[in-house]
Amino acid sequence: MAYTTINKSSLHMNTKLYTGNAGTQAVTGVGFQPDWCWFKARNNTDTHAIFDSVRGATKRIIPNNSTAEGTQSNGLTSFDSDGFTVGDAGITNQNYNYASWNWKAGTAFTNDASSTGIGTIDSTGSFNNDNGFSIVSYTGTGSNGTIKHGLNSAPKMILIKQRSGTRTWLFGHNSLGWDKYLLLTSTDAQGTSSNYFQSTAPTTSVFSVGTGNETNESGGTYIAYCFAEKTGYSKFGSYQGVSSTDGAFINLGFKPTFFMVKASSRSESWYIFDNKREGYNPDNNSLYPDNTGTEGSTDWLDLVSNGVKFRYNSVGLNGTGETYIYMAIGQSLVGSNNVPCTAR
């Protein structure tokens, strides 16, 4: 049984569903003031959108394409104490149903690498050591370097996007190995290069970047989202598919509330599942980070009290001999206060 010091995971990461009104709307019920908000219209093919508190409200980047950061004054307009306020942009608040995935960071940091001796490239950002999440802003040098991530444990997963240009999203994951990478904007299988992370795993203080333009172009500005593993709350791993409706089971040790997955061994789409759409097994609807597709209703998997059970025979998520990597956030069966987490 997995125990955790996070007794209410929804105070750190929470999915909030809402209906747009094509005007201005304050969305409440997130449970905290978010620092990272990812939006997708469930029943419309508008693009995904990500906003964070380090870059500032109205500063939008798009997970499903390589567009540079833009200012969208009618997108997310503020991060509020129990949610956020949105304008009438199609990405956040037209007459559609929306999913928003929200994370809490909250503690600001600034690192002058030459003064502190931590890393070789200056960084600023926001971190939360309780949930293992940080947001890091830096300017590329074009040379191998290291960057402070703000956490007190080594990240197992890092997403990086160049803000100032059209370089694609780089995705690093401990189960791939840090000489490998995936592209969030693409269905491509994993690639191999030492130019992105120097083939070097993150440490408890820094992550490494190479000479590749997607992570460290000279003069380019970047944002990185770093995730460290926390027992009973988050896990970043891999599994093998078995091509069966009685498919693979991932024992997470907690009840997943957010689950993102991608086949690393073949060209397949990315998938996001959460515990709010539709909110019961087996109707866990999917959205797709690499494209603008509407919500899918295939009964892919069950989100159970201690992990994920695959229920559909498909190479997208459950092909025999195929390898898949995942990101899971959730709630332990029992927290440090001995409060049980019941099954759905």
| 79 lies in some domain | yes
Answer yes or no: do 297 and 277 share one domain: yes
Strands 249-251 and 155-162: unpaired
% of the chain surpassing 70 pLDDT: 95
Confidence of residue 3 (pLDDT cuts 50, 70, 90): low
CA-wise closest residue to 298 among 288, 310, 283: 283
pLDDT in tens, 86-134: 999 999 999 999 999 999 999 999 999 999 999 999 999 999 999 999 9
| Residue 40 to residue 50: CA distance in whole angstroms | 9
For residue 221, give every residue at least 6 positions away whose Cβ sits within 8 Å of its Cβ, in sequence order, or none: 137, 138, 139, 140, 162, 163, 164
Confidence of residue 7 (pLDDT cuts 50, 70, 90): confident
| 5 lies in some domain | no
**Domain closes at, from 74, 103, 132:** 103
**Domain closes at, from 201, 228, 255:** 228
Answer yes or no: do 186 and 91 share one domain: no
| 3 lies in some domain | no
Residue 232 has pLDDT above 90, yes or no: yes
Rounded to an integer, the average pLDDT of 147-163 is: 98
| 278 lies in some domain | yes
Predicted pLDDT at 278: 80
Strands 59-60 and 70-71: antiparallel
Domain of 287 in residue numbering reads as 234-335
Rounded to an integer, the average pLDDT of 276-303 is: 90
> From the DSSP assignment, how many helices (H) and strands (E) are in the chain?
2, 28
Answer yes or no: do 87 and 120 share one domain: no
Confidence of residue 259 (pLDDT cuts 50, 70, 90): very high
Say how many domains are in the chain: 3
Backbone angles phi, psi at 12, to 5 degrees: -125, -40
| Residue 17 to residue 185: CA distance in whole angstroms | 24
Predicted pLDDT at 148: 98
Asked whether the beta carbons of 292 and 270 are under 8 A apart, the reply is no
**DSSP single-letter state for residue 313:** -
Predicted pLDDT at 343: 45
| 4 lies in some domain | no
Answer yes or no: do 239 and 221 share one domain: no
Asked whether the beta carbons of 252 and 328 are under 8 A apart, the reply is yes
| 2 lies in some domain | no
Residue 289 has pLDDT above 80, yes or no: yes
Answer yes or no: do 244 and 199 share one domain: no
| 224 lies in some domain | yes
Structure tokens at 241: 């598919």
pLDDT in tens, 182-222: 999 999 999 999 999 999 999 999 999 999 999 999 999 99
Answer yes or no: do 217 and 238 share one domain: no
| 325 lies in some domain | yes
Residue 340 has pLDDT above 70, yes or no: no
| Residue 127 to residue 146: CA distance in whole angstroms | 17
**Domain closes at, from 188, 209, 228:** 228
**DSSP single-letter state for residue 263:** E
Answer yes or no: do 127 and 221 share one domain: yes
Answer yes or no: do 269 and 166 share one domain: no
